[in-house]
Amino acid sequence: MNDYDKRGLGFEDAGFVALVLLVTLAFVWLALPFFGAILWGVVAAIVFAPVYRMLVFRLGLRRNLAAALTLLLILAVVIVPAILIGVSLVQEATSIFNQLQSGRIDPARSFDDLREALPDWAQHQLAARGLNNFEGLRQTLSAGVGAGLQTIASRALVVGQGALSFIAALGVMLYLTYFLLRDGSTLGARIKAAVPLRPALRDALVEHFVIVVRATMKGTVVVAIVQGFTGGLIFWLLGVEGAPLWGLLMGFLSLVPAVGSAIVWVPVALYLLATGSVWQGLVLMACGVFVIGLIDNILRPILVGQDTRMPDFVVLIATLAGIDLFGLHGFIVGPVIAALFIAVWKIVAEHGTGESLPAGE
């Protein structure tokens, strides 16, 4: 085999290793503007790979047609609804912000109504603890609500200006997803063969990566979507202003272990009770406990099963840190990095104790 034997391509050559690292870093830098599109393309291909394989079997091994049909399914059930929801949220935020500007919605007045609705014993308890200075909190609440809605409403202009970039990123994501679905097994085999690890360890890490991505999407994103949609629908049926925004907020906060979407619906239910909307508040409390609250407990074990069992505090830290570093993409990146971190150190621990670490080939 010329100058190379079966042990590899001469990785002992420091110059060649440096070249590999330099070219890899250059490629990563080149692809960085489309990081989000590439990430979601990989995620979509992993999540919908079982659907693609089923279609390949049903269509007589016609891989191109199966990949195209899977891509149409992704468009129909994920991308188009996400775009419609995004447009609806921007419109809702713009409408609420305009009502704030015109005075039709006054958070300060609502806060005063809530304060006056409190019973005397509650006001005395607050005063005894020095929590009766409502004016500063009222001003902060008014400013915070107005600024937050103004930021969301202003995104309409940003989305309009960045429409071309969005379309380009969406095109890259769909294009990549198609080829990963069709040629993913071949590409995966080539990438695994190039990874400088023992085959057994390499295969275990790749398998764990795929499992974690699927479990994260099913156990985090799907649950968040269901909780947010259900909560927003309940708010809309009860006549709560800005139901889509509340639903979106509940979806995001469902990632917080133990408390989750209750951070939203509990204060709203208490506000409804305190301001005289008793039956709406009671219905919201009941739906929050027996519908919204049980979605996570029932749906997550069904979707995830035994795929991944990370501690709640790890999920929380990894998700929040991922969002802080990568924005929306952090929903996936954070938990995946955390799960791979746990998997790698589990292998290290097994190696250190001499447990069931597979021998290399």
Q: What is the pLDDT of residue 178?
A: 92
Which region among 43-47, 194-198, 276-280 has the lowest average model confidence (pLDDT)? Answer: 194-198
In this predicted model, which residue has the larger pLDDT, 12 or 190? 190
List phi, psi (to 5°) of 305. Answer: 60, -130
Residue 70 clears pLDDT 70, i.e. is over it:
yes
pLDDT tens-digit map of 321-359: 887 888 777 877 887 888 778 777 877 776 655 555 444
245 residue type, one letter: L
The arithmetic mean of pLDDT across residues 150-170, rounded, is: 62
DSSP state of 218: I
Helix axes 163-194, 49-58, angle to 10 degrees: 80
Q: What is the pLDDT of residue 103?
A: 61
Report whether 209 contacts 340 (CB < 8 A): yes
Residue 15 clears pLDDT 70, i.e. is over it:
yes
pLDDT tens-digit map of 215-255: 777 777 778 888 888 888 999 888 887 788 788 888 877 77
Q: What is the pLDDT of residue 307?
A: 52
Report whether 61 contacts 172 (CB < 8 A): no
Average pLDDT, rounded, for the chain: 75
Secondary element (H or E) of residue 47: helix 35-47
pLDDT tens-digit map of 253-298: 777 666 678 888 888 888 788 777 788 889 988 988 888 878 877 7
Question: Cα separation of 358 and 350, whole Å?
Answer: 10
In this predicted model, which residue has the larger pLDDT, 287 or 120? 287
Task: Please give the full DSSP string across 122-180, using - where no structure is assigned.
Answer: HHHHHHHTT---HHHHHHHHHHHHHHHHHHHHHHHHHHHHTHHHHHHHHHHHHHHHHHH
Q: Which of 184, 217, 228 is nearest to 85 (CA)?
A: 228
Question: Cα separation of 36 and 327, whole Å?
Answer: 10
- Token pair belonging to 45: 């291909």
Split at pLDDT 50, 70, 90, the class of 4 is very low
Task: Please give the full DSSP string across 65-116, using - where no structure is assigned.
Answer: HHHHHHHHHHIIIIIHHHHHHHHHHHHHHHHHHHHHHHTSS-HHHHHHHHHH
Q: What is the pLDDT of residue 189?
A: 79
The arithmetic mean of pLDDT across residues 45-59, rounded, is: 89
Q: With pLDDT > 90 as the criterion, what percentage of the chain qualifies?
A: 7
Q: Other C-beta atoms within 10 Å of 244: how many?
A: 21
Q: Which of 243, 249, 280 is nearest to 262 (CA)?
A: 249
List phi, psi (to 5°) of 297. Answer: -65, -30
Question: Cα separation of 295 and 224, whole Å?
Answer: 9
Report whether 339 contacts 193 (CB < 8 A): no
What is the three-class DSSP state of 24?
A: helix
Q: What is the pLDDT of residue 153?
A: 52
The arithmetic mean of pLDDT across residues 135-144, rounded, is: 54
